[in-house]
Structure 1
Amino acid sequence: MMYQALLWLSFGGPERPEDVRPFLENVTRGRGVPPERLDEVEQHYLGFGGVSPINALNRAAIEAVEAELAARGIDLPVYFGNRNWHPMAEDTVGQMARDGVTSALVFPTSAYGGYSACRQYDEDILRARAAAGEGAPELTKLRQFFDHPLFVSAFADAVRAAAADVDGEYRLVFTAHSVPVSADRAAGPPSEGGHRYSRQVAEAARLVAADLGVAEYDVVWQSRSGPPQVPWLEPDILDHLDALHAKGVPAVVLCPVGFVSDHLEVVWDLDTEAKDRATELGMGFARATAPSGDPRFAELVVELVREHLADAPVRKLSDFTAAGCTVNGAPCAVGCCEPAQRSRT
């Protein structure tokens, strides 16, 4: 198939203080998040001037991908659309249709499976195509890439750089965004949870640790936002720092392996809350950067594109199924990555 464009599909973030509350309401619509939790998170954003770094990071990454495409002689314009804030995916796909694009690839800014990390991007595609109407382009979503060698090596080098700032011994701790346990279990039919988010995060952590030659490490979770009665993946990063301190661990190096860029959840949950907790405990602290600014990330994206344009080989370091590639938002398997059941209590 001939593809005429690449849609960069991301989460979105506010770029002015007055955008913060409507953005958060978009993010949490239908999820039962208490208003007081939105008040709390709103203050996090306002503490950074009401601006999330995610859009700027995405634009920088898009520029790097455009340069990499050009260097490889690939004529593929890159469009930018978001789920929760401007530029909205619906508007972007509408513009693609007006520009005469009839078939495009989609790069979702998540490396993993699961509902929020994968299937929700399929829903974004469905919604955007519906908004564009009859002339909507056919959209083929690129696959998950948590085990791609460039993703792994970029994180490994970022850990090495962070560890250089820590004196003496440290514990390596991988973090990813927590999700409801019920959503994590809804991996669907593809054998034994091969699409399951938590298993993929654990595998990515194992691969990065292996690259580093580190035998012992931890995988923990951050950024939970749901009602307290709903079980989410644990342990939480702050609780884990307390536990490590109780064991006499002198320092930590955090690796946000669940994220592709240093957006506000990383900056707040790790660089602010976790760092402050480590300081209170007298623990050394350093954080590895996420890979979106690494030249290897642009190379990775173009490799995923070339799997469709030039039948390039699928490069991956795990035995997990190369999943997540979908057409026009149709799920890759019946029942795969279903959303969590909402609590009625």
Structure 2
Amino acid sequence: MPRKLLIGRRRLLAASATAVLAAPAVARAQQVLRSTKAAYSLKMLTLDLEQPWGMAFLPDGRILITERPGRLRIFANGRLERAPVGGLPKVYARGQGGLLDVCLHPGFARNSLIYLTYAGEGDGGVATVLARAEFRNNALVGLQRIFDALPRTSGGLHFGSRIVFDKAGLLYVTCGERYQMQRAQNLADLGGKVVRLRDDGSVPSDNPFVGREGARPEIFTWGHRNPQGLAMHPGTGRIWLVEHGPRGGDELNLLKSGANYGWPLATHGIDYSGATISPNKSLPGMEDPVRVWVPSISPSGLAFYTGDRFPGWNGSLFTGALSDNALHRIELDGDRFVGEERLLVDVLPYIRDVRQGPDGLLYVVTHTDSGGLYRLEPA
């Protein structure tokens, strides 16, 4: 068993026990917590999720939440609905694979389209898959599998995967390198890449590698390891990403068309055995990260805060920190990292995703067997 998978399973089991014991107390006490720019409390909304991974807000305020074993759930009117959404595809729910992210089409109010990423099987093994369907009467209708991160391979590690739309209506999907690091530097391979697609899965004509022999036209950026957070800056429209390094070397990156982000030729991390992966932390022609975490925090989920309920947090970037048991608030000055603080330290285990709700509050999910949905509220 790969060391990372073994460590992840141990952490998940420990986190599950912690969540069951600690989370109800948090909800009862409504303890006032403080950051440098806000006082807040934490409200537990449900503990009935199994390994929740991603979430999206419907226009009517309901929340769609993916569960890694392969279910899509609805939280509405203060409770988790008992019946899961119907019509989901079969997913490969092993290791880190399963049902992963969920995202609404920007024109959802008009077309009812939602997008899912998951680990899906096919000829040759398993790959990160993007599918879309109409969401009608709490079910998926007309599901289409519109992208596979080929080639498929065996194993259950490093699928990515997040989805975000930009201001032009193009969508971006993160694809892990499947724990096969050399794939990230191969432009004929979609592992270790961020791809840019039209909403039907076709390739935009201005993608950076369109027409280049030996390169996949879907690729927008390359040289990534296992990116599990993706967000569009609400002002500039630029796309930001967080990705897992190995032992150390987690990264916050600003995506630039056609750029190579270095993995595994340039990294701040080392192998789990302690061996050197590369002596280079930076190389000519490759993009340096905006922020590096050593030791690792295992960043997952990414969201810019633009609400008015926490004025001091406006413009901040939030990411869950799986191995740090915290929610990180990152301050930026344009494209430059300014500072950071850790919230919810050892209060919640294994924060997998963070989103801003339409009410201007922050929501997080914890990736445990008794997974929770929580809301941060002003105190």
Q: Same fold (TM over 0.5)?
A: no
Give the strand-richer structure, 1 or 2.
2
Give the helix-richer structure, 1 or 2.
1
Calculate the TM-score normalised by the size of structure 1.
Answer: 0.31
Which of 1 and 2 has higher RCO (CA within 8 Å, sep 6+)? Answer: 1
Calculate the TM-score normalised by the size of structure 2.
Answer: 0.29
